[in-house]
Amino acid sequence: MVYLGRSPGGRLVALKVIKDEITDHPEALARFRREAETVRAVRSAYTANLIDASLAAPPYWLATEYVSGPTLSRAVADRGPLPADTCRRLFAALAEGLASVHAYGVTHRDLKPQNVILAPQGPQLIDFGIARAAADTALTRTGAAPGTPGYTAPEVLVRNEVGDAADVFALGATMAFAATGRAPFGAGSVEGVSYRAVHEPIDVVGVEPGLAALISACAAKDPALRPTPAEVIVRCAVLSALVEDPYYQALTAGLTDPPPHDLPPATPPHALPTATAPNQLPPSPAPTRSRRTTWLVTVAVAAAVGVVGAVVLRWGPGGGDGGDGEAASGAPGPSRSAAPVRTGGKTPVGPPTYIEQTAPSLDGYSGLSDRCRQPVQEQTDAQLQYSVTTGDSSPTDDVPPGKVRIGYRLKYEEPGAPPYYLAITVKPPHEVDAKGNPTSRTPNRQLGFVSRVSDLYAGAQTEWKYVMYPDDFGYRSQGEVLPALPVDRDKSTEWTVVYQHVKGPTDYKSVVCGGFVVE
């Protein structure tokens, strides 16, 4: 979980705290420590420098320079592919950044659009959690290659052979996404994307020929055939700085403003930053330092979102959009008094059975960036966790093929909280007709198939509650509730899942948006 914080002297920092759910996980802690060591070692204009860290005891955290700007994935999702000239300038800048990192003997190993921040001073490479020196032993899950499917080089996938050339492959894939707005080797299962990365050419359809040729060269299957970062810079042949590019300036415009100056003062130290007010992290010694530092956590910058099945989102007061489009705040301690859910001054009077569409729904899930194209409509104090598990990607007795299990719970019990009614909508990529059948080509602006409304605070709040798609969902048409569309009726596409805070049949707002991909 990454927060925007400030040092005792007032310096803005990005404060990364290892989430309490994985504090005791040895691999997660090892990656976190590796990231701190790598960022400490690399001093580059293209990376955020390490300011401080505490890795000896929980809560584990590290603080780096704060970098303002959207990620490349968010910029493309919001505005579409970058123009060819802008792509060349970004290509050259990122190649220069890789060359700088490689000069320290470090390979990034997870370069992708989500790990490139488009800052006013130029692009910044972030997330060195799996970076390593060339002589180090790989730190990966058993049997799993490092990196992200679609951006991981063939030699890494096939032989776990990691080197500077693998970063160049990832650079080419990243620029393919920037130039097309599409996943460089398509969407779908990890296995399918990885197979295409090993055996099929990268997607550069519609890209300006010279730029397409350079992207394809970087994404060559044989690492020996790929250009070096220095050769990429030469081939880009840029004549002006990226920060002078009008399109790039538009992407970063307005993002250099500091946070509000009227932040409330720090409260006494707490186990973790709370969702209700800025707090100080308790001081703990960094392994290489004797001094102690306390950071004031102000507002959340970004939430770390994981694989389908156990994604956790938290929100702080006032919301806000952090780097990749999700706002985050720390979880409250168990002793926290119950916080009322924001209801905009209205008191729920009882749940309707179903919600009904009142306006075109623009929500849409992007599997590439693992986020929705529209911001949620309402922030909430509820410590809501949610999960989406597809039976096609990981079939089990609980989730067979063709089914999707969608769950939610609260992280902590909140006794005495007023009712908070929740409905879940599942939207296929294409609209359905009055009988619930998909149309051929129309993008979906419908609400989607809906679950029955339930009270988030009813029953055991910290126990997972599940609904199964399509079994527990329906489509309302002319007063009837029709069965939901099976997932295999709209395949090879991205489905959207939205959690709605419900106050009435036509009075509801989205609080979580995610989704899944059906092959």
Bridge partner residues of 518 (DSSP): 493
Do the Cβ atoms of 503 and 421 come closer than 8 Å? yes
For residues 257 and 39, give the distance between their C-alpha atoms in angstroms, rounded to a whole number.
25
If phi over 0 gives left and psi between -120 and 50 gives alpha, with beta otherwise, what is residue 72?
alpha
Strands (E), 66-167: 106-107, 116-119, 122-125, 132-133
Q: Which two tokens stand for residue 419?
A: 């009712």
Strands (E), 279-382: 296-302, 311-312, 365-366, 371-372
Among 20, 24, 78, 110, the one annotated catalytic: 110
CA 345, 346, 348, 349 dihedral sign is: positive
Q: Is 321 a catalytic residue?
A: no
Do the Cβ atoms of 67 and 119 come closer than 8 Å? yes
Do the Cβ atoms of 243 and 121 come closer than 8 Å? yes
CA 262, 382, 384, 421 dihedral sign is: negative
- Taking alpha carbons only, the member of 296, 325, 269 closest to residue 70 is 325
For residues 447 and 264, give the distance between their C-alpha atoms in angstroms, rounded to a whole number.
39
For residues 182 and 177, give the distance between their C-alpha atoms in angstroms, rounded to a whole number.
5
Active site residues per annotation: 110
